[in-house]
Amino acid sequence: MEREDNTTGLAVMEQDDIRRALTRIAHEIVERNHGIENLAIIGILTRGKPLADRIAKTLHSIEDRMPSCGALDIGLYRDDFTSNPVDRPAPHPTDIAFNINDKDIVLVDDVLYTGRTVRAAITALLDLGRPASIQLAVLLDRGHRELPIRPDYVGKNLPTSLDEHVKVSLMEVDGIDQAVILRPDGSR
């Protein structure tokens, strides 16, 4: 569903769209992994964490078992850490209270763009242990990859131009569930 949002840009996902996409992703995770016996869900801070929690709750409702769930801060692993001090997000603690060795990890983020965030997350994970596998789930894939990274689970493919920005807002962080495309000239 696409609609004009007078305050934020072109809305491409609303609350129900996000819920349905995450439910589909959870079912795909169960199917691909033949259950969730060896699975752990890790969200990339900031908006990947609430998405990971929602996927974990949906997996629990499907499989009657709650997977391990954690949060990963990649701030120190970003390739622009030293060159971009102005836009650098404040560090948050990584919260992974389980051993990731030999686990099948599903890494969760809101938007996949260049692939650099995912590269940083994989590096950060490998500093914590050696998972059996790392899979990637994203709410939105907007293309324009700079690194050879491909998601395993996608809520929505969203073709964008390079000058557009995709903003995901989540209830847990922003008080609303919505994804919008913002254009630099203010047009919709």
Which residues share a beta bridge with 40?
Answer: 68, 105
The Cα–Cα gap between 152 and 26 comes to: 12
Amino acid at 172: E
The Cα–Cα gap between 181 and 45 comes to: 21
pLDDT in tens, 15-55: 999 999 999 999 999 999 999 999 999 999 999 999 999 99
The domain limits of the chain are: 15-161
Report the predicted TM-score, pTM, of the whole model to 2 decimal places: 0.90
CA distances from 21 to 7, 51, 54, 74, 155 (A): 24, 11, 11, 25, 5
pLDDT value for 6? 43
pLDDT in tens, 140-156: 999 999 999 999 999 99
Q: Which two tokens stand for residue 156?
A: 């929505």
- When the pLDDT of each residue in the chain is averaged and rounded to a whole number, the result is 91
User: What CATH number was assigned to the domain covering residues 15-161?
Assistant: 3.40.50.2020
